[in-house]
Structure 1
Amino acid sequence: MKLKQIERLKKISKEDFVSHYVKHQIPVVIEELTEDWPAYTKWKLSYMKEIAGHLTVPLYDDRPVNHEDAFNEAHTHMKMNEYINLLEEKPTNYRIFLYNLMKQAPSLKNDFLWPDIGLKLVKQLPMIFFGGENSKVFMHYDIDYSNILHFHFHGEKQCMIFAPSQSKYMYKVPHALISREDIDFDNPDYEKFPALKNAEGFITNLKHGEMLYMPEGYWHYMKYLTPGFSMSLRSFPKNISNLSKAAYNVLIMRHFDVMMRKIKGQKWIDYKNEKAIRNTHQHLEKTF
């Protein structure tokens, strides 16, 4: 894969952010956007345990998609204080993924400021993500094609992202939002997945308080280099085509996929994985 470092800035005006990055759908890291937030000093694992330790939270691991799973169904549940103890003790694959923790612990809303950065952010959807050392979030893109402001806290996290134009190389699984789950994006097998050699993307390591802007429909693969957590704020897509794709994903695609899992079981999952390879390699043959 051809990866280049994401551009980094200390600060930016909302006018420059919109005109240079949102308008052209270019990712960027803003390093000091959160320095005046209470969260900048407060948001550590110990604080999260204090505020939300009593809550039971959904956890995901890196097991492959199973036909018996509902859409984004959690693999297990655990008390937040027990989960954070686990993060601090040893590496674990268990992650909290796309969870509205602030609905259960509303005092967290007082710890951050909604950025005045030129995007109309959805106030109901500040989503939280947690992960242990070396845990990975599979390569995927978001169902709603939103513009994402992704803030990281406590530790360091690696982010690898690709524009929607690179989907033809990503071994996209049909009727889903993911690449084939057997691809190791840290060390791709180019003999099995040769199209990945043509994929052009971006990479960066986010540290405490830094924000990554991910434009609409960007593929992303995340790896926690240390235990830590992140928060995403989102703005609905501005591109009409992406808005239509988001509506299709939410209203039709995910329900069709759930139905086919119930009807065909594991055969449906196997068919989609095989189709991902056939579709990608057919396109590769036409291109080269």
Structure 2
Amino acid sequence: MMTDGLQLAEIPREKRISKADFLKKYVRPQKPVVIEQLIEDWPAYEKWNLEYIDQVAGDKVVPLYDDRPISSKYKFNEPHTKMKMSEYIELLKSGPTNYRIFLYHLLKEVPSLQKDFSFPDLGLRFLKQLPTLFFGGENSKVFMHYDIDFANILHFHFHGKKQCILFPPSESQYLYKVPHALISRQDIDFVNPDFEKFPVLKKAKGYITELNHGEALYMPEGYWHQMTYLTAGFSMSLRATPRTVTNFSKAVYNVFFMRHFDNYMRKWKGQKWIDYKNEQAVKKTHQKNKIEQ
């Protein structure tokens, strides 16, 4: 589970935790944690697996994404293809695939799924709009990014195993952040990083864990995260509002300005805009850290 050379500590784990301890130990200091036995009373804990999703949602047409680099061909979060959920689950079961489902409101499409979970009483101000689901095939990866809305996130995994690598916002200066975007350079392999090409990564201090079925990962606001599906499976995220005015302001900027500006520039400049941003990610990171170009 360890990566070759990155400074990654194991994410702390709690079997169970009270609201008071969760707020004191993790939310207020903005530290991640895995809660192993948070949802054992949910119907979803016993019911949710790929076979059950196929049974209740197999006829739904779902948006799919793969690991191709971001290009000017697609808008912000535009899917690469679509297929029926039943066909996608067959694809997941047949072996490794890069196709993923990302930020999908399946519970809106299949309202009966909403009866299978509840919002945990942990002191977070959850956005009660419908939660989002994420699916991935064995070995598929979600590139390193942070979320547009700076939410506090509880991320629940189902069916199999998933590796999660996290970095706090304080480490952004070392992660080759792409300007006018929420991602690091997509050609960085955070499992086996190329330190000759990206030497500043050596300075970044983050966290790592493996999520098993039914476990919940708390990701504080603005945390970078990169996910690898070690087996085919899926996850659900519940989101809570940022706790600080600063992060709320950043979220508003991202939603109402940054993504629209980026889409406009992609349309106007095409691939030149993407290439320029990737070059700037390296240039600015090396300048900040006094690395000779």
TM above 0.5, yes or no, is yes
Give CA deviations for 1:16-70 in whole Å, capped at 9, x if unaligned: 1111110000000000001011001000100000011000000000000111211
Query: How high is the sequence identity, in percent, across the aligned residues?
Result: 66
Runs of 5+ in structure 2 lacking a partner?
A: 1-5
2-structure distance, mates of 1:263, 1:75: 21
Which of residues 78, 100, 104 is equivalent to 1:73? 78
Match of 1:184 among 182, 189, 192: 189
Q: For residues 39 and 57 of structure 2, what CA distance do their matches in structure 1 show?
A: 22
Counterpart of 2:211 in structure 1 is 206
Could you tell me how far 1:7 is from its partner in structure 2?
0.3
| Aligned counterpart, 1:267 | 272
CA distance in 2 between partners of 1:8 and 1:131 (Å): 24
Report the alpha carbon displacement of residue 125 of structure 1 after superposing the two structures with TM.
Answer: 3.5
Please give the residue correspondences for 1:111-190 in structure 2 after superposition, counting only pairs within 5 Å: 111-190=116-195
Q: Counterpart of 1:54 in structure 2: which amino acid?
A: D
* Match for residue 282 of structure 2 among 273, 277, 285: 277
In structure 1, what is the equivalent of residue 15 of structure 2?
A: 10
2:174 is matched by which residue type in structure 1? Y
- Inter-partner Cα distance in structure 2 for 1:61 and 1:47: 24
Question: Partners of 2:284 and 2:64 in 1: how far apart?
Answer: 32
Give a deviation string over 1:216-263, Cα, whole Å, max 9, x none: 000000000000000000001011111110000000000000001111
The aligned runs of 1:248-267 (5 Å cut-off) are 248-267=253-272
Which residue does 1:228 correspond to in 2?
Answer: 233
Output the CA distance in 2 between the equivalents of 1:113 and 1:72: 28
**What residue identity is the alignment partner of 1:98?**
L
| Residue aligning to 2:95 | 90
Deviation at 1:144, TM superposition (A): 0.2
Matches within 5 A, 1:46-65: 46-65=51-70
1:271 shift after superposition:
0.2
| Residues 1:32 and 2:37 are matched in the alignment | yes
The separation in 2 between residues aligned to 1:209 and 1:283, in whole angstroms, is 41
The residue that corresponds to 2:3 in the other structure is none
State the 1:15 CA deviation.
Answer: 1.1
CA distance in 2, matches of 1:279, 1:144: 24
Q: CA deviation at 1:120?
A: 1.2
Provide TM-score, normalisation by structure 1.
0.98
What per-residue deviation string (whole Å, max 9, x for no partner) do you get for residues 95-152 of structure 1? Answer: 0011111110111110111101110111113010000000000000000000000000
Query: Match of 2:39, as an amino acid?
Result: T
RMSD: 0.7
- Is the CA contact 1:125–1:234 (under 8 Å) kept in the aligned structure 2? no
Would you identify which runs of 4 or more consecutive aligned residues in structure 1 move more than 2 Å?
Answer: none
Quick one: which amino acid aligns to residue 23 of structure 2?
Answer: V
Query: Hey, what does 2:47 align to over in structure 1?
Result: 42
**What's the TM-score once normalised by structure 2's chain length?**
0.97
Native 8 Å contact 2:108 2:130 kept in 1: no
Aligned pair partner of 2:115 in 87, 107, 110: 110
**Which consecutive residues of structure 1, in runs of 5 or more, have no partner in the other structure?**
none
Instruction: Give the aligned residue type for 1:246.
Output: A
Contact 1:29-1:211 at 8 Å conserved across structures: yes
- Mapped to 1, the partners of 2:194 and 2:68 lie a distance apart of 19
Cα distance in 2 for residues equivalent to 1:98 and 1:279: 30
